[in-house]
Amino acid sequence: MALGGPVICLAGGVGGSRLAHGLAQVLAPGQLTVIVNTADDFRHYGLRVCPDLDTVMYNLAGLADPQRGWGLRDDSGNMLRALRRLGEEGWFQLGDQDLATQVLRSHWLERGLRLTEVTARLAAALGVEQTLLPMCDEPVATMVQTRGGGELDFQTWFVRERWQPPVRSLRLAGIGRARMTAEVGDALAGATLVLLAPSNPWLSILPILAVPGLRAALRQAAAPVVAVTPVIRGAALKGPAARLMADFGLAPAAATVCGLYGDILDAFVYDERDAVPPPAGLRLLGADTVMDNEDARARLAREILDWTATWRPPAVPEREES
């Protein structure tokens, strides 16, 4: 029963921000909290860069580049050009206005603010009315063990190497020192619905679920947990989700995503283009999950909210305590 109550969306970057933006269009601003992956954050020329937080923030602010889905619209590239003139490769795309976000975030973090507080300040300044929370305040970093090669930090593998090196395994450096924040705990405890956005499972959603305390908080929360597939007809719309499934010897399919989230899931939204729905045991909704424009985002968000609102509390499947 989601209508009217607080809705939480767990999100990564481009896929996650699409659903978050759809939800923002149909929910009252105070109703939506987005908890964002920070495991692909990195330090770049001394700055703390948070790609997924910024992607969600710029989309909710209506400032995102509409073609790429990330970065700021109409941004310029003077800094990158100047960096290259100084002999640097400049492989990480950072527009001039986007750079201001990184400078100010780094400045505030250096002055002792928590990432949660910094994010709230940046989002408010850009006019975001929804609540935007990083998954934790401590730095956590996805590290990529490549086949044949050594370990690459995530952005080197993803951007510089264009995610071509096959992956043996992934590791979340720093996750042992991370703690669920009070803000995330309160949000989950008060939620009436939790959505796992159509983000990359390994690179966006599983890092959030790996924050110590978070999975337990989700299990304890009264809210049903609903995931939206990031894989359609065995392929990702963008990025390495299906490739990673192949690398890990898993079927590149929506059902694989269900399996990865396991017992926290109550329901799953698969794409209607998929002939075979994922395995039973979950409430299932087949929908057009391609959110390639603003209307499609809002339409899918409304369809999911309407669907969950028809569930009467006793009919929500009991989750087994582990």
Cβ pair 267, 311 in contact under 8 A: no
List 130, 142, 204, 256, residue binding ligand GDP (CB under 6 A): 204
The two three-digit tokens of residue 68, written as one number = 């790429």
CA–CA separation, 89 and 91 (whole Å): 6
Q: Which is nearer to Ca ion, 40 or 183 (CB)?
A: 40
CA distance 98 to 203: 22
Secondary structure string (H, E, C) spanning 92-143: CCCCHHHHHHHHHHHHHHHCCCCHHHHHHHHHHHCCCCCEEEECCCCCCEEE
288-317 residues in contact with ligand GDP (CB under 6 A) are: 289-291
Give the CA angle between residues 198, 204, 208 to the nearest 5°.
110
Judged by CB under 6 A, does residue 12 bind ligand GDP?
A: yes
Nearer to ligand GDP, 6 or 22 (CB): 22
The tokens describing 218, both together, are 């989700």
In terms of Cβ atoms closer than 10 Å to its own Cβ (0-12, 13-18, 19+), residue 249 is: exposed
Binding site partner of 134, from Ca ion, ligand GDP, none, Cβ cut-off 5-8 A by kind: none
Of the pair 181, 289, the CB lying nearest ligand GDP is at: 289
236 binds ligand GDP (CB under 6 A): yes
The first and second tokens of residue 247, run together, are 């690398």
Site string for ligand GDP, 41-80 (x = CB under 6 A): -----------x--x-------------------------
- Which of Ca ion, ligand GDP, none lies near 16, with the C-beta cut-off 5 to 8 A by kind? ligand GDP
* Burial tier of 4 (Cβ tally within 10 Å: 0-12, 13-18, 19+): exposed
Stretch that binds ligand GDP, among 78-86, 161-169, 193-201, 280-288 (CB under 6 A): 193-201
200 touches ligand GDP by CB under 6 A: yes
Smallest distance, ligand GDP to C-beta of residue 105, A = 18
Instruction: Give the span between the Cα atoms of 129 and 171, in whole angstroms.
Output: 34
Q: Decide if residue 241 touches ligand GDP (CB under 6 A).
A: yes
Q: Which does 102 bind (CB under 5 to 8 A by kind): ligand GDP, Ca ion, none?
A: none
Planar angle of CA 142, 40, 126, nearest 5 degrees? 160
> Among ligand GDP, Ca ion, none, what does residue 101 contact (CB within 5–8 Å per kind)?
none
Q: Considering the complex, state which of residue 52 and residue 183 has its C-beta at the smaller distance from Ca ion.
A: 52
Q: Which does 237 bind (CB under 5 to 8 A by kind): ligand GDP, Ca ion, none?
A: ligand GDP
- Is 239 a binding residue for ligand GDP by CB under 6 A? The answer is yes
- Under the binding rule (CB under 6 A), the answer on residue 230 touching ligand GDP is yes
Nearest distance from C-beta of residue 13 to Ca ion, angstroms = 4
Question: What CA–CA distance (Å, rounded) separates 175 from 38?
Answer: 11
Locus of tokens 């424009």:
293
Among 81, 177, 238, 273, binds ligand GDP (CB under 6 A): 238
Spatial distance between the Cα atoms of 66 and 53, rounded to a whole number of angstroms: 17
Q: In what order do the strands lie in the sheet with 193-196?
A: 131-134, 32-36, 7-11, 193-196, 225-228, 267-271, 283-287
211 binds, among ligand GDP, Ca ion, none (CB under 5 to 8 A by kind): none
Residues at the contact surface with ligand GDP, assessed by CB under 6 A: 12-16, 18, 52, 55, 198-200, 203-204, 228-230, 232, 236-239, 241, 289-291
